[in-house]
Structure 1
Amino acid sequence: MVKLTRVLLVAGLLLGTVAQAAETATVFGAASLKNALDEAGKAFTAQSGIAIRASYAASSALARQIESGAPADLFASADLEWMDYLDRKKLIRPETRVNLLNNRLVVVAPKDARESEVPFTVEGFSKVLGADGRLATGEVNSVPVGKYAKAAFEKLGLWATIQPRLAQSDNVRAALALVSRGEAPLGVVYASDAKSDPGVKVVGVFPEDSHPPVVYPFAVTAEARGEGAARFLDFLKGPAGRAFFEAQGFSVIPAGR
């Protein structure tokens, strides 16, 4: 009987370990978060045994996928609007929502471009774009980076010049790739994206007051399974998670702000 009890105890412990290792949290993250969240996810899994599975796209696309029933446990948006959208539809747990990160909006060019700086003037952009060059960014009516870019160009009096020259992409990483491959002479992306791609260089940083602050809210979804998403979010809010974001060029918003 004693031996049987011990066998059952060991079997129970082993099953518990397997269950923990088998737990997975699915993260739907803005495309600009890919590098940081991938690295943070590896560290969290090594520490907790909970696997992190991530899907990256524009925040607009991810929010609509969640609305359509996609099995996401944690949503990380590149702007407040799409998190508000899910909140209004009761598709996130509002008590878990946190504004975690800031980013900067920048102009990038291919790394071998002659220009080291592009003035925020009609002449400055027209000179670099030439007769038929395009400026790559996200879709301006839905993708956060495109919305920020449109607001900034409007504020700076450049929208009428830039609008006809836009190459609008599904997400910020697609816009970044157009510039990195030399298919567009300029692009508007986030500072963290520029840092992630050695094929581009920053040739302009938008004034912070030219567009709404670039804020990344995170929240556990209403249909999240298990505790993995909440635990991963706690990890991201702590010192370990902060290091991964800062290494990729994000600014971490102090708690309580």
Structure 2
Amino acid sequence: MYRFLTLLLLTLSCNAFANSSQTVYVYAASSMTQVVQNLAQIAAKHNIEVKGVFGSSSSLARQIANGAPADIFISANTQWMNYLEQQQNKGVQPAHVIAGNELVVISGDDLPRVPTLSDSMVWQALIGNGRIAIGETNTVPVGIYAKQALVSLGVWSSLSKKTAPMKNTRAVLAMVERKQVPVGIVYATDAKQSKMVKVLAHIPAKHYAPIQYPMLLLTDKSNANQVYKMMQAKPMQDVLGELGFSPAPKIVAATH
């Protein structure tokens, strides 16, 4: 009887280890948080556990390049995906774009909609003695896009010293929600998911590089491959649409 119980416990522990080793780790840009949460729910119906790790694309790409146990990476721009693919030939196959997004100006206060974005005086009136929350402009995609937009609109020179750079788009959103800053620039999907902010203006896409979300399969684990395919299937594409993401453009994501 003792030997039988010992064998049973060994079998159960081996099964538990096998199952844990098949957990799929999805490292994703913070703006993809709800997307990956929905993906995890769909995967769970197929007895696959998905765990999301969220942050700025730059931070996640560096972590993966340094050995973080990611199975799938979803970036908020092609720059950091290109960086990762060039690190020791990361990726089972080339990355491709799964969705797009756009920039909006938001506020947690009852401010009027912005009539024009190319007049620095309008921005000054919005922020008063405060600052504009944006992503860090050298490494964080939402900040890179925001700076491109402000430069293109001709207002960056007058506003650059009045920004509050944050580590990712969710941090920008939180600053605005807590009214620590009067306005911020985030992705349209962030604004849609928050009940505490209002959109003051949509920044025309012509003022910044196309916002693209490339996805990369990093391991050959069978469960990871299944989840990778789930992300591209209609149920998840419907989820992306419901959350406000634009459809994936018919182009190759990561070019070198």
TM-score, length-scaled by structure 2: 0.87
1:52 match: 50
CA distance in 2, matches of 1:17, 1:43: 21
Aligned residue-pair number: 239
Give the C-alpha shift of residue 89 in structure 1.
Answer: 1.2
- 1:163 pairs, out of 160, 165, 172, with 160
CA offset at residue 23 of structure 1? Answer: 2.4
Query: Cα deviations across residues 119-155 of structure 1 (Å, max 9, x unaligned)?
Result: 202111100111x211001100000000000111111
Whether the 8 Å CA contact 1:78–1:215 is kept in 2: the answer is yes
Query: Which one of the candidate residues 73, 80, 84 is aligned to 2:71?
Result: 73
* Partner-residue secondary structure (3-state), 2:93: helix
Partner residue of 2:227 out of 216, 227, 232: 232
In the TM superposition, what are the counterparts of 1:140-179 in structure 2 within 5 Å? Answer: 140-179=137-176
**Structure 1 residue 213: Cα displacement:** 0.2
SS at match of 1:124: helix
Answer whether contact 1:25 1:229 (CA < 8 A) is retained: yes
State the partner residue of 1:212: 209
1:28-73 deviation digits (Å, cap 9, x = unpaired): 0000000121012111221x21100111000000001011111111
Partners in 1 of 2:87 and 2:111 — Cα distance?
48
Q: Distance in 1 between matches of 2:158 and 2:125?
A: 12
CA drift of 1:20 comes to 5.7
Whether contact under 8 Å (1:103, 1:250) holds in the other structure is yes
State how far apart, in whole Å, the 1-side matches of 2:63 and 2:89 are: 11
Q: Counterpart of 2:181?
A: 184
Q: Find 2:195's aligned residue among 195, 198, 212.
A: 198
Correspondence for 1:8: none
- Structure 2 counterpart of 1:4: none
In structure 2, relative to structure 1, the CA distance for the partners of 1:53 and 1:91 (3 Å cut) is farther
Q: Unaligned 5+ residue runs, structure 2?
A: 1-10
Residue identity matched to 2:154: G
Q: Which residue, 130, 133, 149 being the options, matches 2:130?
A: 133
Residue 30 of structure 1 contacts residue 78 of structure 1 at CA under 8 Å; is this kept in 2? yes
Inter-CA distance 255–18: structure 2 relative to 1 (3 Å threshold):
farther
Secondary structure, counterpart of 1:184 in structure 2: coil
The Cα shift of 1:255 comes to 5.3
Give the 3 Å change call, closer, same or farther, for CA 22–64 of structure 1 in structure 2: closer
Q: Secondary structure at the match of 1:183?
A: coil
**CA-CA distance at 1:252 after TM superposition:** 2.0
Counterpart of 2:8 in structure 1 is none
Change (3 A) 1:213 1:82: same
Q: Mean Cα displacement is larger for which, 119-128 or 139-148?
A: 119-128
Deviation per CA, 1:169-206: give whole Å up to 9, x if none.
11100000000111111101000000111111111111
Tell me by how many angstroms 1:229 deviates: 2.0
